[in-house]
Amino acid sequence: MKWNFWIDLYIRTHCVARGLRPLTLVAYENTLKQFHLWVQVKLADRAPDEITTRDVLSYVQYLRDVRSNGGSAVNRAVVVLRRFYCAMVAMGYLEHNSNPLVAFPSIKAVPRKLPVSLSQDQVSRLLAEPRPDTIIGLRDRALLALLYGTGIRASECASLRNHQVDLKQLTITVRGKGGNERVIPLNPQLAALMEAYAQARGLAMATAPFFRSRFGRLLSRGGVYERVRTWGQRSRIGVTLSPHRIRHTFATHLVRAGVGLVTIRDLLGHRLITSTQIYLHVTADDLRAAAARHPISRLLDTVKTLIATGPLPFQKSPPRYGTG
């Protein structure tokens, strides 16, 4: 009972006060309940204030060996536990010296995977796949174009309301992580696709969702994922598609077009520039590809055929001239 009380208290007071998103709250709660389940089985349901640093180390080993969790998943679990216990100390439910995460060794950060993006040809095939002769086809083409043309998240796309879309000023206003709003400009061709869908869909209240299901209800975040995945399969682009991969593609193509990281950070809604710096690899890859195409490679292949085989002297002696 004590575990349930502490977890509920932490989620309702500390996490909600920080303005965490509902999905983040669910993830935190599931992580803590998973740890509690392990404590019930392995430690005879020991109370939260009786957990030791050694117990947490054993749990980390369990995640790696039994559940086969990768470094990122293990790091997330440790971070959630560390914040949970720090909050309990801050609220006076636990002494500082009783916090099992105080002396817990830091886990080396897992190198971030480079984002996989689509080529321009793949994007072209994807956008051309939905048929524009039905309302659903117009909706899905506008939805795919909006994700690629603005780089917004699936949750931001699903929660988009009519009053947030200004097709005259060519802007949309979205609410991102932490409740932060940002205004994103629209390409005129993208705005035309959205206008065609809005006209076919019909008038709606300003607070109504912009993208609606075939039954007139909100197209949920899961619905956005499903439509993107479906059109990715139908267009046969050869990769598993998700809204986040389209978001990576948006940023990657901007980097290749010479757009600065600060601008891309603001468009993506990143809080820190370090989150955007992952796209710097694109420039490095392009430089390597350019170096590989340099004509020096062909010239050196020609020179290679002129090099004699076998042992060579270290240096040729200069010619000796007679005195006459």
Catalytic residue positions, numbered:
153, 177, 244, 247, 270, 279
Instruction: Identify the CA nearest to 151 among candidates 124, 172, 135, 178.
Output: 172
HSE (side-chain half, CA atoms, 13 Å) at 115 = 24
HSE (side-chain half, CA atoms, 13 Å) at 97 = 0
* Rounded Cα distance, 155 and 93, in Å: 36
**Strand spans (E) along the chain:** 165-166, 171-175, 181-185
**Strand spans (E) along 53-170:** 165-166
* Rounded Cα distance, 81 and 39, in Å: 13
Instruction: Identify the CA nearest to 85 among candidates 72, 76, 96.
Output: 96
Kindly give, in sequence order, each residue whose CB lies less than 8 Å from that of residue 223, ignoring residues fewer than 6 positions away: 158, 213
In the β-sheet with 181-185, what is the strand arrangement from edge to edge?
165-166, 171-175, 181-185
Question: Is there a contact between 172 and 182 (Cβ–Cβ < 8 Å)?
Answer: no
The identity of residue 165, as a single letter, is V
| Paired strand residues for 212 | 218
The tokens for 179 are 């409740």
Reduced to 3 states, what is the DSSP secondary structure of residue 64?
A: helix
